[in-house]
Each structure stands twice: as C-alpha cells, then as structure tokens.
Amino acid sequence: MQQETKCIEAGYTPKNGEPRMIPIVQSTTFKYDTSADMGKLFDLEAEGYFYSRLQNPTNDMVAAKIAALEGGSAAMLTSSGQAATFFSVFNIAGAGDHVIASSTIYGGSFNLFNVTMRKMGIDFTFVDPECSDEELEAAFKPNTKAVFGETIANPALIVFDIERFAKAAHKHGVPLIIDNTFATPINCRPFEWGADIVTHSTTKYMDGHDSTVGGAIVDSGNFDWMAHADKFPGLCTPDESYHGITYAEKFGKEKAYITKATVQLMRDLGAVPSAINCYILNLGLESMAVRVQRHCENAQKVAEFLNNNENVSYVTYPGLTGDKYYDRAKKYMPNGTCGVISFGVKGGRKTAEEFMKNLKLAIIATHVADAHTCVLHPASSTHRQMTDEELLAGGVKADMVRLSVGIENVNDIIADLKQALEAAKN
Ligand SMILES: *Cc1c(COP(=O)(O)O)cnc(C)c1O
C-alpha cells in the first residue's frame, strides 16, 4: 500500500458485518471466563486486553496505522508528545546513563532532558546538529545509551542529517531516536535513513485539527539489543517485575522495545490516551496525506511571498531555494517539508509584536501544524525558559516569528500577512 492508502486503510480491517470505522472501545476493563485465562495475560503468555491503562483495542488499531505509515515493526500511543519523548529515552536509559541530543530540538524536549531527566540521574550532552565529525565522536561516552534528534527542528527549521547521526550512533552500539513530528511519515520516513526509533507529537499534523493532544512511539525493529546486551540490561536481562521475562529474548528485535515500554513504563507511569482521543486522532490520520501536501504547497507560496516582501528581514523555510537546508531537505524530503516558516520582521521585536497584533485571519496560538494558520513569538512563549545562549544554540532569534501555514486558501493567508506587515510599519 502507498502512504495515502495506509492513511485510510492500515491498522484495522473490518470482517464481515463489522463497523467500517474503528470501534471506540470506551471500557476500562475486559471480562474473562476464568482467572487462569487472565493469568496468561499477566504472564505475557497470551495476547489480549485486561485493563486500558496497559492496552486498549482502539488505541492499538491507531498505533498499528502509525507503525505502517512509518514502516515500523511495532508502535504505541501516549497521552502526549512529551510522554512519547520521555518513554522513548527512559525505556533504554536510567540513572547513571548518558544520552546525546541535538541542541536544536523542541523546547519541551530540551527542558524534559536538561532539567527533569537530569534530576533522575540521566546525563545529556547537547550537540550542534552541524558539529564536526570529531565533535560528534567526542560526545560519546562509555555509558551513552541513545542519540536523539528531530527531522525538522521546531521552531528553528533545521533539517537533521539523519543518515550521518545514525552511522555515528550505530558505530557506538546505540540506537538513533528521531522526533518526526514536523515532517510526518508522508514527507520523511526516518527508518529508511537508519533511524531506529521514531517519536511523534500526534497533536500536530497527525491530528491536524486542534483537537487532541497525543504522542506515538514507533520501533523500526532493526536494532539488535542482544548484540549490545551489556548496554541495555533493561531489555536483555530478566525483568523481576514481570516474572523474570527477558524482553529481547521473548519478543525479539521487532517487539521487545515497544512491549517493554507498554508493560513496564505505561503500567507504572500511566500516560495513556483515551480511546475516544485515539478515535479522533484516527480521523486526522485518514486525511493526513492530502492535508500535509496542501500545507506544504501553501507554505511554499507564503515563504516566497515573505522572501520578496520589503518589511521582512529574513525567511527560514527549508523548501526555499537558497535556504541553508534546501539541499538536505531535497534529499530527505523530496516531496515537501512542512507548513511551518520562521521569519524576522524589520524593526525587531517591537515591530514583530505589532505585526502579530494586526493579523486578522492568522491567530496567535501556542500551536503549530494544524488546519488553521497561526503565529507565535517563541522567545516570549515556548522558549522563554531558555537563556539567551541556549536560545541561540537552539537556533531561535529573539525577533523570530514562527508562522504555521494552514490549509485555508493561500491567497487569503497572503493578503492577511501583507496588510499586517503594512500596518506594523506605521
Ligand atoms: C509539540 C511537540 C512535542 C510535544 O508534544 P505534545 O503533544 O505537545 O506533548 C514534541 N516534539 C515536537 C517536535 C513538537 O512539535
């Protein structure tokens, strides 16, 4: 199946007389005839459902669709993108371990790593995604357990060199985790470039309608945990909280990582999405291929308009010829990148704020990547916890406006931007 078809068909195939849409199984619990039947589920000897904190049929159908879209072997949904990011790393790194992350990742991921997970005893090194091979090599330590990057960094719009980082990670026997939120599997499939795990904030293009916060983790099934058993005791030695099961042995390369994250992390931390939210996410996924294509077409035209506007000081959009990441974007995302553009308004911070106040169609919102066009000033909102040095390392300028181009008629979007730029000048 092609991606457009998977958006509609993957994850659930109704049998004779069954509902066409995925059923919403809004039930906390599941009934069994004997305690012995249920015991098999608790021992992970049989597959099935017993409590929706661990697994729910609606959630699993939508996870299976996302796994198919990414070309992965297994996937799980979480209640937010943050939970997905946290689980993806915490599943293989604990106190005393070390993780390498790109310095330009999403602000929420940066705080999670740099503040909260440090408190848990996990050490992080943030590397410039454009660092030299020597610098990258020097970041690895004997206790390094993973490398983490973002296909297209939110909001810096830096295109990550997935292939290069995958090679470096594999040389050191650790997986590459890629946050593929902005590109979506419609525009980029990180597994094809060597990534091992993919995460998503499904809140963005996957849902796409400002409706549901959610996250997803997908495993490629390619990383050989047992070949690096000394590094990954959580997967390669018995889990005493699960009757001594060794995940990598019992579930193999394809299922070990997601099974452990489900039966251990979801069991203990409980960041599970509701069945109804998964159903809403599935509605978004069905139209994702056509929406993402339109987002990219609109953003391309808007970026070109801004680039030629005398009140704009710079435009960053990887689809723009002359953009620093144009060539790399063409390699990893030949059909388009995303609908998000960043640019500076001439006159600096004050004029930028004035411009935003004058917008009529585009709304000011802490959000990106959905049907409605919206704008945000990262330095005074999503990234306000960061110091000026951290901001700069994250590729965020203080006068930068982040514009998420929606799927309205592009002429209406451009007209709105044009009048607000004119008004801000005065
Ligand atoms: C929004 C976002 C997240 C966090 O996701 P939530 O669903 O808001 O928790 C993670 N990564 C990226 C790239 C994002 O844009």
For the stretch 300-332, pLDDT in tens is 999 999 999 999 999 999 999 999 999 999 999
Q: Return the CATH number at 295.
A: 3.90.1150.10
- For a ligand 1 pocket test, name from 88, 151, 203 the mutation site with the most ligand atoms within 8 angstroms of its C-beta: 203
207 lines ligand 1 (CB under 6 A): no
42 and 171, same domain (yes or no) = yes
Q: Is 333 exposed, middle or buried (0-12, 13-18, 19+ CB in 10 A)?
A: buried
Same domain, yes or no: 264 and 198: yes
43 three-state secondary structure: coil
85, 199 contact by CB (below 8 A): yes
Which tens digit of pLDDT belongs to each residue from 31-76? Answer: 999 999 888 888 888 888 999 999 999 999 999 999 999 999 999 9
Boundary residue ending a domain (276, 304, 330): 276
Choosing from 109, 201, 338, 342 the residue with most ligand 1 atoms within 8 A of its CB, the one to mutate for a pocket test is 201
Token digits of residue 183: 């590109």
Which of the listed residues 254, 276, 298 is the one where a domain comes to its end?
Answer: 276
Question: In this structure, which long-range contacts are made by residues 118-123, counting pairs with CB atoms below 8 Å and at least 24 apart in sequence?
Answer: 120/90, 120/94, 120/95, 121/94, 121/95, 121/96, 122/89, 122/90, 122/93, 122/94, 122/95, 122/97, 122/98, 123/97, 123/98, 123/99
Q: Is 284 inside any structural domain?
A: no
Share of the chain above pLDDT 70, in %: 99
Q: Give the pLDDT confidence score for residue 388 in this predicted structure.
A: 66
Lowest mean pLDDT among 6-10, 14-18, 113-117, 348-352: 348-352
The pTM assigned to this predicted structure is 0.96
Q: Please check whether residues 124 and 170 belong to one and the same domain.
A: yes
Q: Same domain, yes or no, for 259 and 308?
A: no
pLDDT tens track for 176-202: 999 999 999 999 999 999 999 999 999
pLDDT tens-digit readout, 227-280: 999 999 999 999 998 889 999 999 999 999 999 999 999 999 999 999 999 999
- β-pairing, 123-127 vs 98-102, is parallel
d(CA 241, CA 307): 57
Residue 15 lies in a domain: yes
How many domains does one find in the chain? 2
What is the pLDDT of the chain when averaged over all its residues?
Answer: 95
Question: Phi-psi bin for 91: left (phi > 0), alpha (psi -120 to 50), beta?
Answer: alpha
Q: Is 154 in the pocket of ligand 1 (CB under 6 A)?
A: yes
- Is the pLDDT confidence value at 379 over 80? no
Residue 317 and residue 254 in one domain: no
Q: Indicate which CATH number applies to the domain containing 146.
A: 3.40.640.10
Structural domain including 316 reads 290-425
> Is residue 17 pLDDT above 90, yes or no?
yes
Count Cα neighbours of 243 within 13 Å in the Cβ-side half-sphere.
Answer: 9
Q: Is residue 55 part of a domain?
A: yes
**Structural contact between residues 360 and 425, judged by C-beta atoms closer than 8 angstroms:** no
Tell whether 53 and 190 lie within a shared domain. yes
Listed residues 276, 300, 328: the one ending a domain: 276
